[in-house]
Amino acid sequence: MQTRYLFVLLLYIGTYTQLQAAHKDTIDTMVEAFLNQKQTPDIKTHKQMWYVQVGAFTQKEPSSLLRKLQKKGYETIQKSVFRGEKRYTILLVGGYDTKQAAKEELKILKRYIPGAFIVRGAKE
């Protein structure tokens, strides 16, 4: 049984080597094009995304609010930040591609969380 697998492996390597030799220019061109391509502009990094901050907590984790938001289908993010000696757990909703999309969601969230506001690029 092992001999069969070895034979198939050697056949595969031989075929790949033959294809590589026959199409070396094409493969080199494809590899070069791949290495030279730039990141597509429609892919956003987290620093370009918009979020709605719904809370900042110092004493306890925002578990009850977090569960409520997740039950309603929101994507939530918790982020720890330090201001001086104090640690805050920031609770965010989103990431939205545009500020307008975040504003629309903010209108809904403000009904339940009056202190919510928009931030940009909060997830790292």
Q: How confident is the model at residue 17 (pLDDT cuts 50, 70, 90)?
A: low
pLDDT, position 96: 92
Quickly count: other Cβ atoms within 10 Å of residue 53's Cβ: 21
Evaluate if residue 42 carries a pLDDT over 50.
no
Confidence of residue 79 (pLDDT cuts 50, 70, 90): confident
- pLDDT of 116 higher than 60: yes
Tell me, what's the pLDDT at 121? 79
* Predicted confidence (pLDDT) at residue 32 exceeds the cutoff of 90: no
Architecture (CATH level 2) of domain 46-120: 2-Layer Sandwich (3.30)
Q: Is the pLDDT of residue 43 over 50?
A: no
The confidence score (pLDDT) of residue 22 equals: 57
Closest among 99, 100, 62, 65 to 79, alpha carbons compared: 62
Taking residues 103-115, what's their average pLDDT?
A: 94
| pLDDT for position 59 | 80
pLDDT of 40 > 50? The answer is no
Cα(88)–Cα(116) distance, integer angstroms: 16
